[in-house]
Structure 1
Protein backbone atom coordinates (compact mmCIF):
# COMPACT_ATOMS: atom_id res chain seq x y z
CA UNK A 1 0.00 0.00 0.00
CA UNK A 2 1.27 3.45 -0.88
CA UNK A 3 1.65 5.78 2.06
CA UNK A 4 1.24 9.52 2.45
CA UNK A 5 4.57 10.82 3.73
CA UNK A 6 6.06 14.23 4.40
CA UNK A 7 4.71 17.75 4.54
CA UNK A 8 4.20 19.74 1.35
CA UNK A 9 3.08 23.32 0.90
CA UNK A 10 1.06 24.70 -2.03
CA UNK A 11 -0.88 27.86 -2.86
CA UNK A 12 -4.39 28.33 -4.11
CA UNK A 13 -4.53 29.62 -7.68
CA UNK A 14 -6.71 32.51 -8.91
CA UNK A 15 -9.64 30.09 -9.45
CA UNK A 16 -9.42 28.70 -5.90
CA UNK A 17 -7.79 25.42 -6.89
CA UNK A 18 -4.90 23.81 -5.08
CA UNK A 19 -2.64 21.04 -6.37
CA UNK A 20 -2.43 17.84 -4.42
CA UNK A 21 1.33 17.16 -4.05
CA UNK A 22 2.61 14.76 -6.71
CA UNK A 23 3.60 11.97 -4.25
CA UNK A 24 0.13 12.13 -2.69
CA UNK A 25 -1.57 12.08 -6.11
CA UNK A 26 0.46 9.02 -7.04
CA UNK A 27 -0.55 7.22 -3.84
CA UNK A 28 -4.21 8.18 -4.37
CA UNK A 29 -4.21 6.94 -7.96
CA UNK A 30 -2.51 3.69 -6.96
CA UNK A 31 -5.25 3.00 -4.42
CA UNK A 32 -8.27 4.28 -6.38
CA UNK A 33 -10.69 1.75 -7.83
CA UNK A 34 -12.65 2.41 -11.04
CA UNK A 35 -15.79 4.40 -10.35
CA UNK A 36 -14.57 5.70 -6.98
CA UNK A 37 -13.63 9.27 -6.14
CA UNK A 38 -9.91 9.99 -6.06
CA UNK A 39 -10.15 11.34 -2.50
CA UNK A 40 -12.78 11.88 0.19
CA UNK A 41 -12.37 15.02 2.29
CA UNK A 42 -13.95 15.72 5.66
CA UNK A 43 -13.34 18.05 8.60
CA UNK A 44 -11.23 16.58 11.38
CA UNK A 45 -13.04 15.94 14.66
CA UNK A 46 -9.84 16.68 16.60
CA UNK A 47 -8.05 19.49 14.80
CA UNK A 48 -8.71 22.55 12.62
CA UNK A 49 -7.76 20.71 9.46
CA UNK A 50 -9.24 18.66 6.62
CA UNK A 51 -8.76 14.90 6.53
CA UNK A 52 -8.20 13.26 3.15
CA UNK A 53 -9.08 9.60 2.74
CA UNK A 54 -8.94 7.09 -0.07
CA UNK A 55 -12.32 5.46 -0.70
CA UNK A 56 -11.11 2.16 0.79
CA UNK A 57 -9.75 3.81 3.94
CA UNK A 58 -12.96 5.81 4.33
CA UNK A 59 -15.03 2.63 4.02
CA UNK A 60 -13.00 1.05 6.84
CA UNK A 61 -13.60 4.19 8.93
CA UNK A 62 -17.33 3.53 8.60
CA UNK A 63 -17.18 -0.15 9.70
CA UNK A 64 -17.87 0.56 13.41
CA UNK A 65 -21.31 1.85 12.40
CA UNK A 66 -22.26 -1.78 11.74
CA UNK A 67 -22.15 -2.39 15.51
CA UNK A 68 -25.07 -0.01 16.13
CA UNK A 69 -28.77 -0.51 15.59
CA UNK A 70 -29.35 1.32 12.28
CA UNK A 71 -32.50 2.92 13.76
CA UNK A 72 -30.79 4.18 16.92
CA UNK A 73 -29.88 7.77 17.74
CA UNK A 74 -26.26 6.71 18.27
CA UNK A 75 -26.06 5.27 14.75
CA UNK A 76 -27.67 8.36 13.27
CA UNK A 77 -25.33 10.73 15.14
CA UNK A 78 -22.24 8.79 14.10
CA UNK A 79 -23.44 8.46 10.51
CA UNK A 80 -24.23 12.18 10.30
CA UNK A 81 -20.83 13.13 11.69
CA UNK A 82 -19.09 10.81 9.26
CA UNK A 83 -21.08 11.22 6.04
CA UNK A 84 -22.83 14.61 6.15
CA UNK A 85 -19.57 16.56 5.95
CA UNK A 86 -17.72 14.18 3.61
CA UNK A 87 -16.92 15.37 0.10
CA UNK A 88 -15.76 12.91 -2.59
CA UNK A 89 -13.56 14.74 -5.11
CA UNK A 90 -11.65 14.07 -8.27
CA UNK A 91 -8.78 16.23 -9.46
CA UNK A 92 -8.33 17.83 -12.84
CA UNK A 93 -5.54 16.69 -15.21
CA UNK A 94 -2.98 18.78 -13.30
CA UNK A 95 -3.95 17.26 -9.94
CA UNK A 96 -5.84 20.32 -8.70
CA UNK A 97 -8.94 20.25 -6.53
CA UNK A 98 -11.37 22.89 -5.30
CA UNK A 99 -11.95 22.63 -1.57
CA UNK A 100 -15.57 23.17 -0.46
CA UNK A 101 -16.01 26.49 1.38
CA UNK A 102 -17.17 24.78 4.56
CA UNK A 103 -13.91 22.79 4.70
CA UNK A 104 -11.77 25.85 3.91
CA UNK A 105 -13.48 27.70 6.77
CA UNK A 106 -13.02 24.76 9.18
CA UNK A 107 -9.26 24.74 8.51
CA UNK A 108 -8.90 28.56 8.31
CA UNK A 109 -7.34 28.33 4.85
CA UNK A 110 -6.56 31.43 2.81
CA UNK A 111 -3.68 31.60 0.33
CA UNK A 112 -1.45 28.67 1.25
CA UNK A 113 -2.01 25.17 2.54
CA UNK A 114 0.15 22.45 4.04
CA UNK A 115 -0.46 18.83 3.13
CA UNK A 116 0.66 16.60 6.00
CA UNK A 117 1.10 12.88 5.41
CA UNK A 118 -0.08 10.52 8.15
CA UNK A 119 0.54 7.17 6.50
CA UNK A 120 -2.81 5.89 5.26
CA UNK A 121 -4.42 9.37 5.20
CA UNK A 122 -3.26 12.96 4.86
CA UNK A 123 -4.43 16.24 6.28
CA UNK A 124 -4.74 19.73 4.81
CA UNK A 125 -3.80 22.56 7.18
CA UNK A 126 -3.22 26.26 7.46
CA UNK A 127 0.63 26.28 7.30
CA UNK A 128 1.14 27.97 10.70
CA UNK A 129 -1.32 25.58 12.38
CA UNK A 130 0.40 22.62 10.68
CA UNK A 131 3.80 23.67 12.04
CA UNK A 132 2.34 23.98 15.53
CA UNK A 133 0.60 20.60 15.22
CA UNK A 134 3.84 18.87 14.14
CA UNK A 135 5.61 20.47 17.12
CA UNK A 136 2.88 19.27 19.52
CA UNK A 137 2.86 15.79 17.98
CA UNK A 138 6.65 15.42 18.34
CA UNK A 139 6.49 16.54 21.98
CA UNK A 140 3.63 14.15 22.71
CA UNK A 141 5.36 11.29 20.87
CA UNK A 142 8.51 11.90 22.92
CA UNK A 143 6.44 11.82 26.10
CA UNK A 144 4.67 8.63 25.03
CA UNK A 145 7.87 6.81 24.10
CA UNK A 146 9.80 7.92 27.19
CA UNK A 147 7.03 6.71 29.52
CA UNK A 148 6.96 3.21 28.02
CA UNK A 149 8.72 0.56 30.04
CA UNK A 150 11.38 -1.30 28.07
CA UNK A 151 10.72 -4.95 27.32
CA UNK A 152 12.76 -7.20 29.58
CA UNK A 153 12.95 -10.19 27.29
CA UNK A 154 12.71 -12.50 30.31
CA UNK A 155 10.49 -15.51 29.71
CA UNK A 156 10.61 -16.68 33.36
Structure 2
Protein backbone atom coordinates (compact mmCIF):
# COMPACT_ATOMS: atom_id res chain seq x y z
CA UNK A 1 0.00 0.00 0.00
CA UNK A 2 1.36 3.41 -0.98
CA UNK A 3 1.45 6.32 1.43
CA UNK A 4 0.62 9.97 0.90
CA UNK A 5 3.32 11.96 2.67
CA UNK A 6 4.14 15.63 3.11
CA UNK A 7 2.44 18.95 2.59
CA UNK A 8 2.32 20.52 -0.87
CA UNK A 9 0.81 23.76 -2.17
CA UNK A 10 -0.56 24.24 -5.69
CA UNK A 11 -2.65 26.79 -7.57
CA UNK A 12 -6.29 26.28 -8.44
CA UNK A 13 -6.83 27.44 -12.03
CA UNK A 14 -9.79 29.45 -13.35
CA UNK A 15 -11.57 26.23 -14.41
CA UNK A 16 -11.30 24.76 -10.90
CA UNK A 17 -8.49 22.34 -11.74
CA UNK A 18 -5.49 21.68 -9.56
CA UNK A 19 -2.41 19.52 -10.10
CA UNK A 20 -2.07 16.61 -7.73
CA UNK A 21 1.47 16.69 -6.26
CA UNK A 22 3.94 14.45 -8.11
CA UNK A 23 4.63 12.28 -5.05
CA UNK A 24 0.89 11.71 -4.59
CA UNK A 25 0.53 10.82 -8.29
CA UNK A 26 3.34 8.26 -7.91
CA UNK A 27 1.55 6.70 -4.92
CA UNK A 28 -1.71 6.67 -6.86
CA UNK A 29 -0.12 5.00 -9.89
CA UNK A 30 0.94 2.11 -7.66
CA UNK A 31 -2.54 1.90 -6.13
CA UNK A 32 -4.46 2.35 -9.38
CA UNK A 33 -2.33 -0.10 -11.36
CA UNK A 34 -3.93 -2.79 -9.23
CA UNK A 35 -7.48 -1.82 -10.18
CA UNK A 36 -7.36 1.25 -12.45
CA UNK A 37 -9.93 3.14 -10.36
CA UNK A 38 -10.63 6.83 -9.79
CA UNK A 39 -10.04 8.65 -6.55
CA UNK A 40 -13.00 9.34 -4.32
CA UNK A 41 -13.23 12.92 -3.09
CA UNK A 42 -15.61 13.93 -0.32
CA UNK A 43 -16.02 16.78 2.16
CA UNK A 44 -14.60 15.90 5.55
CA UNK A 45 -17.38 15.58 8.10
CA UNK A 46 -14.98 16.86 10.79
CA UNK A 47 -12.87 19.56 9.15
CA UNK A 48 -13.24 22.29 6.48
CA UNK A 49 -11.28 20.28 3.93
CA UNK A 50 -11.68 17.74 1.14
CA UNK A 51 -10.60 14.13 1.64
CA UNK A 52 -9.02 12.16 -1.21
CA UNK A 53 -9.45 8.39 -0.97
CA UNK A 54 -8.11 5.67 -3.28
CA UNK A 55 -11.14 3.53 -4.12
CA UNK A 56 -9.70 0.46 -2.38
CA UNK A 57 -9.30 2.35 0.92
CA UNK A 58 -12.74 3.97 0.59
CA UNK A 59 -14.24 0.52 0.00
CA UNK A 60 -12.59 -0.79 3.17
CA UNK A 61 -14.14 2.09 5.10
CA UNK A 62 -17.61 1.57 3.67
CA UNK A 63 -17.54 -2.22 4.15
CA UNK A 64 -18.21 -1.61 7.84
CA UNK A 65 -21.70 -0.41 6.86
CA UNK A 66 -22.56 -4.06 6.16
CA UNK A 67 -22.64 -4.67 9.92
CA UNK A 68 -25.58 -2.28 10.31
CA UNK A 69 -29.20 -3.06 9.50
CA UNK A 70 -29.74 -1.77 5.95
CA UNK A 71 -32.98 -0.07 7.00
CA UNK A 72 -31.74 1.41 10.28
CA UNK A 73 -31.47 5.12 10.89
CA UNK A 74 -27.76 4.70 11.71
CA UNK A 75 -27.08 3.02 8.36
CA UNK A 76 -29.00 5.73 6.53
CA UNK A 77 -27.16 8.55 8.34
CA UNK A 78 -23.70 7.08 7.81
CA UNK A 79 -24.41 6.12 4.18
CA UNK A 80 -25.67 9.64 3.47
CA UNK A 81 -22.59 11.16 5.10
CA UNK A 82 -20.21 8.93 3.15
CA UNK A 83 -21.85 8.67 -0.26
CA UNK A 84 -24.16 11.64 -0.94
CA UNK A 85 -21.37 14.16 -1.46
CA UNK A 86 -18.66 11.76 -2.65
CA UNK A 87 -17.28 12.25 -6.14
CA UNK A 88 -15.24 9.76 -8.19
CA UNK A 89 -12.68 11.87 -10.05
CA UNK A 90 -10.00 10.84 -12.53
CA UNK A 91 -6.99 13.02 -13.23
CA UNK A 92 -6.14 14.21 -16.74
CA UNK A 93 -2.83 13.47 -18.53
CA UNK A 94 -1.13 16.36 -16.73
CA UNK A 95 -2.17 15.04 -13.31
CA UNK A 96 -4.87 17.66 -12.76
CA UNK A 97 -8.23 17.06 -11.13
CA UNK A 98 -11.38 19.12 -11.51
CA UNK A 99 -12.91 19.79 -8.11
CA UNK A 100 -16.71 20.17 -7.98
CA UNK A 101 -17.97 23.51 -6.67
CA UNK A 102 -19.62 21.89 -3.64
CA UNK A 103 -16.24 20.57 -2.49
CA UNK A 104 -14.42 23.85 -3.15
CA UNK A 105 -17.06 25.70 -1.14
CA UNK A 106 -16.82 23.24 1.76
CA UNK A 107 -13.05 23.81 2.01
CA UNK A 108 -13.22 27.57 1.22
CA UNK A 109 -10.86 27.12 -1.75
CA UNK A 110 -10.21 30.07 -4.04
CA UNK A 111 -6.86 30.30 -5.82
CA UNK A 112 -4.39 28.14 -3.86
CA UNK A 113 -4.73 24.77 -2.15
CA UNK A 114 -2.63 22.72 0.23
CA UNK A 115 -2.44 18.95 -0.11
CA UNK A 116 -1.70 17.20 3.20
CA UNK A 117 -0.69 13.55 3.20
CA UNK A 118 -2.28 11.46 5.94
CA UNK A 119 -0.87 8.07 5.07
CA UNK A 120 -3.51 6.07 3.20
CA UNK A 121 -5.59 9.17 2.34
CA UNK A 122 -4.91 12.86 1.81
CA UNK A 123 -6.69 16.13 2.42
CA UNK A 124 -7.01 19.34 0.41
CA UNK A 125 -7.14 22.55 2.44
CA UNK A 126 -7.20 26.30 2.07
CA UNK A 127 -3.50 27.10 2.80
CA UNK A 128 -3.88 29.16 6.00
CA UNK A 129 -6.39 26.64 7.41
CA UNK A 130 -3.93 23.81 6.62
CA UNK A 131 -1.13 25.58 8.49
CA UNK A 132 -3.43 26.09 11.49
CA UNK A 133 -4.53 22.43 11.39
CA UNK A 134 -0.91 21.21 11.44
CA UNK A 135 -0.09 23.53 14.33
CA UNK A 136 -3.15 22.46 16.34
CA UNK A 137 -2.56 18.74 15.71
CA UNK A 138 1.08 19.04 16.82
CA UNK A 139 0.03 20.88 19.99
CA UNK A 140 -2.61 18.24 20.83
CA UNK A 141 -0.12 15.41 20.38
CA UNK A 142 2.37 17.19 22.65
CA UNK A 143 -0.25 18.10 25.29
CA UNK A 144 -1.56 14.53 25.44
CA UNK A 145 1.96 13.05 25.29
CA UNK A 146 0.89 10.76 22.46
CA UNK A 147 3.23 8.43 20.67
CA UNK A 148 2.90 5.43 18.40
CA UNK A 149 4.77 2.16 18.86
CA UNK A 150 5.99 -0.24 16.18
CA UNK A 151 3.17 -2.58 17.23
CA UNK A 152 0.66 0.08 16.03
CA UNK A 153 -0.48 0.99 19.52
CA UNK A 154 -1.07 4.61 20.38
CA UNK A 155 0.01 5.36 23.88
CA UNK A 156 0.74 8.20 26.22
CA UNK A 157 4.41 8.84 26.94
CA UNK A 158 5.12 8.81 30.64
CA UNK A 159 7.38 11.67 31.73
Common topology (TM > 0.5): yes
Q: 1:148 aligns with which of 143, 151, 156?
A: 156
Root-mean-square deviation (CA, aligned residues, Å) is 1.6
Structure 1 or 2, whichever has the larger Rg, is: 1
Per-residue CA deviations over 1:4-35 (Å, capped at 9, x if unaligned) read: 00000000123221000000011111111435
Task: Report how far residue 71 of structure 1 moved.
Answer: 1.4
Matches within 5 A, 1:60-139: 60-139=60-139
**Secondary structure of the structure 1 residue equivalent to 2:2:** coil
In 2, the alpha carbon distance for the partners of 1:111 and 1:26 equals 24
Per-residue CA deviations over 1:75-124 (Å, capped at 9, x if unaligned) read: 11111111111101000000001101000000000000000000111000
Structure 2: state its 5+ residue gaps.
Answer: 147-154
Task: Report how far residue 149 of structure 1 moved.
Answer: 4.8
In 2, the alpha carbon distance for the partners of 1:29 and 1:116 equals 18
Q: How many residues align?
A: 150
Runs of at least 4 residues off by over 4 Å: none
In 2, the alpha carbon distance for the partners of 1:36 and 1:27 equals 13
In 2, the alpha carbon distance for the partners of 1:16 and 1:69 equals 39
More strand by share: 2
In 1, the alpha carbon distance for the partners of 2:101 and 2:126 equals 14
Could you say which residue in structure 2 is the equivalent of 1:36?
37
Structure 1: state its 5+ residue gaps.
Answer: 151-156
